[in-house]
Amino acid sequence: MACKLLPLRIEMVKKTPRIGLVLGGGGVIGNAYLTGVLEGIRRVSGWDPGTASVTVGTSAGSVSGALSTLGMPCDLMYRYVCHEEPPPGKDLPEIASRFRERPDNEWTDRLYRPTGVVPRPLLSSPSSVLQALMNPWQTSVDLFVAGLLGEGFLSTRTIGEIIEAVQPGGWPQREFWAVTVDLDAGRRVAFGRNDAPPTDVARAVRASCAIPAVFAPVRIRGRRYADGGVLSVSNLDLLADENLDLVVCVNPMSSLEGRSYEGPVDRITAAIHELERRSWLRFGRRLGWERRQVEDAGTPVLLIQPTEADLEVIPVNLMRAEERPAVAERALETTIAGLESRREWMPSLRVLRAAADV
């Protein structure tokens, strides 16, 4: 009996690029900047940031990252921050409908709620101070200062309520890490990773946003956690060993172009400007080191940070909520312009478009 040979059919299977997303800190203004950048990336590449293989968020970036991984479309988040209505006739996902009931400024106006508890006035973390003194070259200056200062007297409850409006408990199904600092140990903890204590996403984001000496640290399983930006405003290096095809890092608190200050400046204002300049330089150096760790491991990095045009609308006070729409709009413009014109961004753009096409 003769065998019937069937023609062999070969199909090319497209491999979905594994993309990591890193969202840095920067207060309510940084959150607006992130919103504009992510929407710009979506419009040019077609890639949805909410589909990232892993998302790392620090401080304000943890809010954006949590909402993204929980399913908040970045185009609707952009409209929300800019006080715009969704397109007429568009069916809103449930998550966006919940947000529509509470305007953006309602959240930001309620950020500064006292805890009602008298905080520790000094030395919030003696162990962090000791660690900095014992290992000065391996410890962040900000960790040392945070340990010296007292605990904050404001609560991060409102930030938690933003996340709880979307997911009352549990953790996003997609991989999401909220970066914090364990004040009692002086070390970085990324909630959502296997080596971090279990908790719910709202509480983790609250901890990631707990700026030392301003907001009270958040207790999780008996330990105190504070803003992950104390050690790094970006924490890009956490993705060095994740075998990704690309990491997109958006960092609101560093810039290669710098801010130009105009007009009369008194001594106090000049001191504030100088402090900001030195801080951003330090953040930028740390970010450069983190980028090298990821690229040396074989993963390319698309790094997006404020341009001179962005800095024209970004205030020195990153908690000035009334500037959020202008910052988001400008970030959208500069991101689209960069992705369409910057030659060094073209390889990353191809990866993003490939991910969007699969």
The pLDDT tens digits for 11-59 are 334 578 999 999 999 999 999 999 999 999 999 999 999 999 999 999 9
Rounded Cα distance, 48 and 41, in Å: 8
Cross-strand bridge partners of residue 22: 56, 249
Cross-strand bridge partners of residue 114: 154
> How do residues 310-357 score in pLDDT, each as one tens digit?
999 999 889 999 999 999 999 999 999 999 999 999 999 999 999 998
Rounded Cα distance, 182 and 211, in Å: 13
**pLDDT given at position 114:** 75
Rounded Cα distance, 104 and 72, in Å: 14
Q: Which DSSP string corresponds to 119-159?
A: PP-B-S-HHHHHHHHHSTTSS-HHHHHHHHB---SEE-HHH
> Higher-confidence residue: 15 or 170?
170
- What are the CA-CA distances from residue 325 to residues 67, 111, 307, 322 (Å)? 18, 18, 17, 7
> How do residues 253-288 score in pLDDT, each as one tens digit?
999 887 766 665 556 766 777 778 888 888 899 999
Taking 3-state DSSP, the helix, strand and coil percentages for the chain, each rounded to the nearest 5, stand at 45, 15, 40
Rounded Cα distance, 81 and 104, in Å: 6
Unique residue bearing structure tokens 């504009």:
36
Rounded Cα distance, 149 and 319, in Å: 20
Rounded Cα distance, 303 and 142, in Å: 23
**pLDDT given at position 11:** 39
Pairing outcome for strands 187-191 and 176-182: antiparallel
DSSP three-state, residue 205: helix
pTM, rounded to two decimals: 0.88
Reported confidence tier of residue 138, pLDDT bands at 50, 70, 90: low
Reported confidence tier of residue 2, pLDDT bands at 50, 70, 90: very low
Pairing outcome for strands 218-220 and 187-191: unpaired
The mean pLDDT of the chain is 86
**pLDDT given at position 263:** 60
Structure tokens at 37: 């950048």
Q: What is the mean pLDDT of residues 165-189?
A: 91
Q: What is the mean pLDDT of residues 92-99?
A: 70
> Is residue 150 over pLDDT 70?
no
Reported confidence tier of residue 94, pLDDT bands at 50, 70, 90: confident
Rounded Cα distance, 72 and 172, in Å: 12
DSSP three-state, residue 286: helix
Residue among 51, 56, 50, 70 at smallest CA distance from 358: 51
Cross-strand bridge partners of residue 189: 180
Phi/psi of residue 132, nearest 5 degrees: -65, -40
DSSP three-state, residue 101: coil
Query: Counting every residue, how long is the chain?
Result: 358
> Is residue 153 over pLDDT 90?
no
> Higher-confidence residue: 4 or 152?
152
Taking each helix axis from N to C end, the angle separating 74-81 and 324-341, rounded to the nearest 10 degrees, works out to: 140
Unique residue bearing structure tokens 């909520």:
321
Residue among 236, 231, 45, 27 at smallest CA distance from 138: 231
CB 256 within 8 A of CB 312: no
Rounded Cα distance, 18 and 20, in Å: 7
> How do residues 72-87 score in pLDDT, each as one tens digit?
999 999 998 998 877 7
Phi/psi of residue 197, nearest 5 degrees: -65, 150
For residue 22, the surrounding DSSP H or E stretch is strand 19-23
